[in-house]
Amino acid sequence: VQLQAFGGGLVQAGGSLRLSCAASGRSFRSYAMAWFRQAPGKEREFVAVLSWSGLSADYARSVEGRFTISRDNAKNTGYLQMNSLKPEDTAVYYCAADAYYSSDHAEYEYWGQGTLVTVSS
């Protein structure tokens, strides 16, 4: 599975962005997908995960209620809708996929290249 994340950019605090993760390969639709992020000087952290069916999702506490993870298996694409953005959401965002549903980045085999989100105050 090859993943490509895009949709990042510069947004003011309180604004919204939608990230997309385009996947190649039919197996994507049978994989869990997740979003992680990494701010400068910090470790990569979990943001959200979604099961292959789209029926189960989990979020980091810092984004719960503001971010929504979703997928369209017919289009082999995953999404992260980010609302009420805060300056502390500034990071490079990565999408990932794996057969196992997990919030641990070490569990994920397939990664996109990352897309930068910058939230200005």
Report the pLDDT averaged over residues 21-34: 91
> Across 13-66, where does the E strand assignment appear?
17-24, 32-38, 45-50, 57-59
Res. 29: pLDDT tops 80: yes
The CA distance from 55 to 118, in Å, is 30
Classify residue 52 as left (phi > 0), alpha (psi -120 to 50) or beta.
Answer: alpha
Give pLDDT, residue 95. 98
Give pLDDT, residue 27. 84
Task: Report the mean per-residue pLDDT for the chain.
Answer: 96
CB 4 within 8 A of CB 67: no
Report the pLDDT averaged over residues 15-33: 93
Report the pLDDT averaged over residues 88-115: 96
Residue 100's closest CA among 44, 50, 64?
Answer: 50
One-letter amino acid of 63? V
Res. 26: pLDDT tops 80: no
39-98 pLDDT per residue, tens: 999 999 999 999 999 999 999 999 999 999 999 999 999 999 999 999 999 999 999 999
